[in-house]
Structure 1
Amino acid sequence: MRTSVFLLAMLFSTAMIGQIKSDSTAQNPQNQQNSAQRILSGTYGAAVTVGAYGEMLYNQPEGSNGELDVQRLVLLLGYRFNDRTQFFTEIEFEHVEEVYVEQAFVNYNVGNNINLRGGLMLVPMGIINEYHEPTTFNGVERPAMDNVIVPTTWRELGVGVSGRSNSLNLGYQAYIFNGFKSTVADGEGGVSGFLKGSNGLRGGRQKGIKSTVDSPTLSAKLDYYGVPGLRLGLSTYLGKTQATDDVEDFDGANIGIAMYGLDARYALGRFTARGQFVHASLSDTDKYNALTNRDLGSELQGYYVEGAYNLLPSDKEQKLIFFTRYENYNTHADTAGGLAQNKAYDRTDITTGLSYHIAPGVVLKGDYQFRENALSGDEVKNRLNFGIGVWF
């Protein structure tokens, strides 16, 4: 507890040196930035810059008690060593009691629009994994497919390059990361698996915590900005999982992963839209399930489409955004061996509600979710959600 209080005091004391200017999320997706991009942009005079984002939520499943939660508070800290070299980190407090380092990397500017990076970084897959600050998306909760298909917040240790070609209207990222941890000895002569049917790869995230690595993975993304108001993204992630030394020679200890994603964001006047599609093919899941007694699917797939409209005039600082999102995600899109597809893992959410940006960097949210799955007779509770989000 004392360590956490000291850390908070130390970080906020630097605010007098260089605080990030508070602003609202740009409606035009071509101008949108996430926390790291804002700090690394070089527009702040001081060498040290600080900021934060956080979410306080209320979730009320139909017929059940509601839950109040300070879901996350993330402290942002950057330091500019010189005009070419910067450091960025995010320190996250989840549910008041858990502390994680979400990002921590060095960025070195080699030349115009070319950066080398190394450290704990976000895997560039889809939209939300990179743009998850609460004022950047509609809905109290992040899209569910960005929990079970893309395991947000997905970050690993690695090195790579990022930049932009203005002549081609393309942004690019390419990294080598350690992969998901798949298996470990259970201490009783058997093998435990971190991956499973209900949430796919999520349990295998290593998050930079004494990460084991055997075969590095490749992650890359291209963003296209050539049409006014439109931003298109194409992502890929290729490689194998990582097993610990004592089990890596077991048949089925590792699986192969080939994940592809397509995302789009568009803005025209007060109207905005976004959509995302992600598909992952997993190899050797039959052997993995036999070894670990898990039910991991051989294909994962999810998509959503969302439309939103600002009900207030465009020249007003405040925004009142009405939105509706349709989402389908299936962690048993296909299975291998004798494993039957679990229809309960084929899920659909329809979310509709309001995002009220009362000031730059502050949003009040409320929505209702109609939730179901493909399993006959299985009742999934609809949910009412409210939230407060800040980012500065």
Structure 2
Amino acid sequence: MKRVATMFAMATMLSIPAVEGRAATVEELERKVLDLSREVDQLKGEGDAPAVKTGSGNFRRILDRTSIGGYGELDFISRSNNGNGKGASVFDPHRIVLYVNSDLSDWVNFYTELEWEHGGDGKNGKIPVEQAFLNFKLDPSFNVRAGVLLAPLGAVNLYHEPNNFNSTERPDLDRILIPSTWREMGAGIYGALGERVNYELYVLNGLDGSKFSAESGIRGGRQDLDADMNRGKAVAGRLEVRPITNLYTNFSFYTGNSAKVGTAYTTIGAFDGKYRMGDLEVAGEYVHVYQDDPGSLGMDPAKGAIGNTMSGYWLEGAYHVMPSALKKGKLAEADAIAFARYSEIDTQQGISDRSYNRSYTTVGLSFKPIPTVAVKADYQWYDDGRPYGKTLDNDKFQITLGFVF
């Protein structure tokens, strides 16, 4: 409104004759009012604003077709000191994410997600692109997607917003054997097969097996988005089945050559599920990785050799503990969830060295004053096959403020 008022004032001043000038004619005043009226219509967004041609391209008013959102996780982490030098207490702006969704037409859609981790990269200022793809919506059962895609594997990689899992951190299985957040350049199809089945199937750039290790599983194998160290491509897919109310099951897979020279396929199979019965929820995930000829990958021996197979699982029980009597006023939509999770990860199956096999036991509470905000606190006990002072990780207490907007 201030801009509109300013333009009216300017038009009025222009219509006043200068001291030594002549009075404006009626025709000039009408022309000025008409021009101003057109500008006011554009400012108010009435009708479809025409494209504006500039030296750098065409721009259109897209606010009515574009939405923005995002999520964030702010952490306080206190790790115990057990002699391995990894004990610490720190505040961490873990991640802030912004996503933009724009309907380019009634059947073409663009989605992008940008992420700042740990306050951003202070060295070079880069902002990682977590997703950036086009959807071509052809039919509910068959659609096309292309761009920077999330690999459709496991319980967390697609649904990684903080209000989708109870713990302060994503399960460690979904960092080591499914390297969340795992995104690749690629293209494929997706759709719904009836009301209870959805599918996704993509061709993607593959993983760099030389960066695999017993210490971090396949996590280090993620490449830059514009890189693929061999001429092969990977295939990944997902089938989501909801056989009954409140039961969600997902079957997902990945296969691709991870060797720079020769052939050494990495094949991943995963299953996850979740079921709610009243206030009780049970959930779990199992991941199995088969690595053909791991000796040909050229891995760093200092980080431990992987086995032909790596596998892991987690099981979780959760209970909604907030009394209904407290759900009123500002807390009408509030929820509180107490949970416990146990997980094991083995990256050296078939190898006598067991020092990289690990387990995690996590208990905690997640309080949601509203559905899109979660205040989480948990304690995690960690164990592996190494002696005191040599463990890969430590016990820890963590508080996280997670939010989605």
Deviation at 1:74, TM superposition (A): 0.7
Q: Hey, what does 1:330 align to over in structure 2?
A: 346
Q: Is the 8 A contact 2:107 2:137 kept in 1?
A: yes
Residues in 2 aligned to 1:101 and 1:331: alpha-carbon distance in whole angstroms = 29
Q: Is the 8 A contact 1:52 1:391 kept in 2?
A: yes
Residues in 1 aligned to 2:402 and 2:366: alpha-carbon distance in whole angstroms = 10
Deviations 1:33-81 (A, max 9, x none): xxxxxxxxxxxx9311100101011111123331211111111111101
TM-score (norm 1): 0.78
Q: Hey, what does 1:75 align to over in structure 2?
A: 98
Residues in 2 aligned to 1:359 and 1:233: alpha-carbon distance in whole angstroms = 27
Deviation at 1:255, TM superposition (A): 2.4
1:173-192 equivalences in 2 (<5 Å): 173-182=200-209
Deviations 1:271-310 (A, max 9, x none): 2221000000001112334897762332110100101111
Give yes or no for the alignment of 1:108 onto 2:136: yes
1:176-325 equivalences in 2 (<5 Å): 176-182=203-209, 193-241=210-258, 243=260, 248=261, 255-289=264-298, 295-313=305-323, 316-325=332-341
Deviation at 1:195, TM superposition (A): 1.8
Deviation at 1:207, TM superposition (A): 4.5
Residues in 1 aligned to 2:277 and 2:306: alpha-carbon distance in whole angstroms = 41
Judging changes above 3 Å, is the alpha-carbon distance between structure 1 residues 61 and 133 closer, same or farther for their aligned structure 2 residues? same
Q: Which has the higher contact order (CA 8 A, sep 6+)?
A: 1
Structure 1 or 2, whichever has the larger Rg, is: 2
Residues in 1 aligned to 2:236 and 2:162: alpha-carbon distance in whole angstroms = 25
Higher share of residues assigned helix: 2
TM-score (norm 2): 0.76
Q: Hey, what does 2:165 align to over in structure 1?
A: 137
Report the identity percentage: 30
Q: Hey, what does 2:70 align to over in structure 1?
A: 52
Q: Is the 8 A contact 1:148 1:331 kept in 2?
A: no
Q: Which runs of 5+ in 1 are unaligned?
A: 1-16, 18-44, 183-192
| Root mean square deviation of aligned Cα | 2.1
2:110 is aligned, of 84, 87, 99, to 87
Amino acid at match of 1:381: N
Deviations 1:181-214 (A, max 9, x none): 23xxxxxxxxxx3222211211110241444451
1:313-392 equivalences in 2 (<5 Å): 313=323, 316-335=332-351, 340-341=352-353, 343-375=354-386, 381-392=394-405
